[in-house]
Chains A and B, each alone.
Chain A
Amino acid sequence: AQSVSQHNHHVILSEAASLELGCNYSYGGTVNLFWYVQYPGQHLQLLLKYFSGDPLVKGIKGFEAEFIKSKFSFNLRKPSVQWSDTAEYFCAVLRRAAGNKLTFGGGTRVLVKP
């Protein structure tokens, strides 16, 4: 069973639409959570991260994510997407008990139509 699950493999939407990408993980204990983005032809970039504190975290380019511990979820949101948000998005979990490696979800390809 996949330890980090991203519910949608592909999402297609129009500019100005709202985006929400789901991410669930199956680990207990302390976790650090991340969303990375990979634009076409570019390398992985960090969008936002959760380490502790306020479960609603804001990242770059208008993205935000909410950590809901009881649901083991860390969903990514953006109220109004732009064509330039076309990319692949990866959720990742770092488990303190398992060292420093990231475990990634399968990724979600997002296509924003102009």
Chain B
Amino acid sequence: GAGVSQSPSNKVTEKGKDVELRCDPISGHTALYWYRQSLGQGLEFLIYFQGNSAPDKSGLPSDRFSAERTGGSVSTLTIQRTQQEDSAVYLCASSLVRVGTGISRNYEQYFGPGTRLTVT
């Protein structure tokens, strides 16, 4: 594809509701990342997928946050019981990561336009 796409571009939800954010990575990119950009915290890592598995979930702020990736392509970030502090821009990025025996080679990450989430 031409680039990383995310939907929706904007989401306004009421406190306590669940939301799903979608990311379509660049075709052929094996790795997918979710980050969050907020005024107080800057740009923070949330979770990383290599293929359909998530070897690093260390950035997820609470168990209300989860993500999945299917078919090695599209990913969905789900936030349950949203809180006002969840308001932020959620960014998705993708990259090539070639994993060999004992080594991996990282390539640059390309970012999507983000989903601006506002919790009222």
Inside 8 A of A101's CB, which chain B residues have their CB? 33, 45, 48, 56, 58-59
Q: Residue A70 at the B interface, CB < 8 A?
A: no
Binds A, one of B62-70, B74-82, B110-118: B110-118
User: CA separation between A100 and B59, bound complex, in Å?
Assistant: 12
Interface string of B26-37 (1 = CB under 8 A from A): 000001010100
Residues of A within 8 Å of B58, CB to CB, are 101
Report which of A92, A100, A107 forms a contact with B48, defined as CB distance below 8 A.
A100
Are A103 and B91 closer than 8 Å at their CB atoms? no
Residue from the list A49, A90, A102 in contact with B45, Cβ < 8 A = A102
In whole angstroms, how far apart are the Cα atoms of A96 and B44 in the complex?
18
For A, the interface residue count at a CB cutoff of 8 angstroms equals 22
Identify the closest chain A residue to B112 (Cβ): A43
Interface string of A72-111 (1 = CB under 8 A from B): 0000000000000000001010101001111111110000
Main SS at interface, chain A:
strand
Residues of B within 8 A of A106 (CB): 42
Is B33 within 8 A of A43, CB to CB? Answer: no
In this complex, what residue of B is CB-closest to A92? B43
User: Does B52 make an interface contact (CB < 8 A)?
Assistant: no
Chain A residues contacting B31 (CB-CB under 8 Å) are 100
Q: Which A residues are CB-close (under 8 A) to B106?
A: 32, 94, 96, 100
Indicate with 1 or 0, residue by residue over A20-62, a CB within 8 angstroms of chain B CB atoms.
Answer: 0000000000001010100000111110010000000000000
B95 interface residue per 8 A CB criterion: yes
Distance in angstroms between the alpha carbons of A102 and B36 in the assembled complex: 12
Whether A104 contacts B33 in the complex (CB less than 8 A), given A44-B111, A94-B106, comes out as no
Nearest CB of chain B from residue A37's CB, rounded to whole Å: 11
Taking beta carbons and an 8 Å cutoff, which residues of B are in contact with A? 31, 33, 35, 42-45, 48, 50, 55-56, 58-59, 91, 93, 95, 97, 104, 106, 108-114
8 smallest CB-CB distances across A and B, nearest first, come from A104-B43, A44-B111, A101-B45, A43-B113, A99-B56, A106-B42, A49-B108, A43-B111
